Amino acid sequence: MYREGFARFTATRYSKEDFDNPMVHLTNHAIQKKDDAYDASVSDLKWSFPSLKRYMLTKHGPAATTECWAGIHNIITGSLKAVQGVMINDKHCFEMYGYDVMIDDDLKPWLIEVNASPSMSSDTQTDHDLKFGLLDDMLTLIDMTGSFRGQLPPRVGGFDLVYDGEPKRHESWGSYPTMLGCNNRDREDALRRLKKWTESLDPNAEKKVRPSDAVTIVSYMQKEKREKEKLEKEKE
């Protein structure tokens, strides 16, 4: 399960009395920014999971916040267990699912839908960084080089192993019931630890393409892009 994601908001508060107003419903940003109530300088209609979690901790406290995120975690694992008997299990394939979950006033999470092959397009740098990292970690996770030797590591970048025949948790989680929504700033460090883990399994690992090699490539590409944008702005 990937740690990161985004939370969407509406520019106008939801009301049953104003049900026909498209601005009170969760729509895409292109529609929401047309709302008269939207002010880009004060309203951010898309938050990262850590930002949402910090807000919830401040307003509702640790117990309620932890219970909410644990509920989302259980929704995801429970729904996949419910359909595992009818899912395609070809060992030569994999699929990524995107979950849409709504949180009510009592912080109870509700599953809205599950998307097969969710959109990986991005319109902001934050969006790009998250999805680029997710795709990079996903390709590491499928282990095309056989570096995992048939074993599942507890963490691959932003992915945490949460179920393998039974619920799983790692000692690094501490007292948390889930790592969903936790900061993923140590993602690159996690990939470096994964490299050491794979090397301990295979004495010839140094001769293979290693999972964490992509970190250097991605970091370089992003740095090069930002430096280019900076130079273009200076020319203006």
231 vs 5, more confident: 5
Q: What is the pLDDT of residue 191?
A: 87
Q: What is the pLDDT of residue 20?
A: 77
SS3 163: strand
Q: What is the pLDDT of residue 212?
A: 47
Q: Which residues lie closer than 8 Å to 165 by C-beta, 6 or more apart?
A: none
Pairing of strands 97-103, 109-116: antiparallel
Q: Which residues lie closer than 8 Å to 4 by C-beta, 6 or more apart?
A: 48, 49, 50, 130, 133, 134, 158, 184
**What digits encode the pLDDT tens for the residues 9-56?**
877 777 778 777 777 777 666 666 666 666 654 457 788 999 999 999
Q: What is the pLDDT of residue 42?
A: 45
User: Which of 32-36, 98-102, 125-129, 141-145: highest mean pLDDT?
Assistant: 98-102
Q: What is the pLDDT of residue 16?
A: 78
**What digits encode the pLDDT tens for the residues 43-98?**
577 889 999 999 999 999 999 999 999 999 999 999 999 998 888 778 788 889 99
pTM of the model: 0.77
Cα distance between residue 85 and residue 66, in whole Å: 30
Number of Cβ within a 10 Å radius of residue 20: 7
Q: What is the pLDDT of residue 177?
A: 87
Residues above pLDDT 90, as percent of the chain? 36
Q: What is the pLDDT of residue 204?
A: 64
26 vs 171, more confident: 171
Across the range 146-165, mean pLDDT stands at 89
Across the range 161-186, mean pLDDT stands at 86
- What does pLDDT average to over the chain? 81
Instruction: Using pLDDT thresholds of 50, 70 and 90, give the confidence band for residue 218.
Output: low
Check whether 216 has a pLDDT greater than 50.
no
Instruction: Using pLDDT thresholds of 50, 70 and 90, give the confidence band for residue 209.
Output: very low
204 and 235 in contact (C-beta within 8 Å)? no
Q: What is the pLDDT of residue 219?
A: 54
Place of tokens 């619920």: 167
Q: What is the pLDDT of residue 85?
A: 85
89 and 68 in contact (C-beta within 8 Å)? no
Could you tell me where the DSSP H helices lie in 84-186?
Answer: 125-141
Strand boundaries in the chain, DSSP class E? 6-8, 46-48, 97-103, 109-116, 155-156, 159-160
Cα distance between residue 35 and residue 24, in whole Å: 10
User: Which of 2-6, 34-38, 224-228: highest mean pLDDT?
Assistant: 2-6
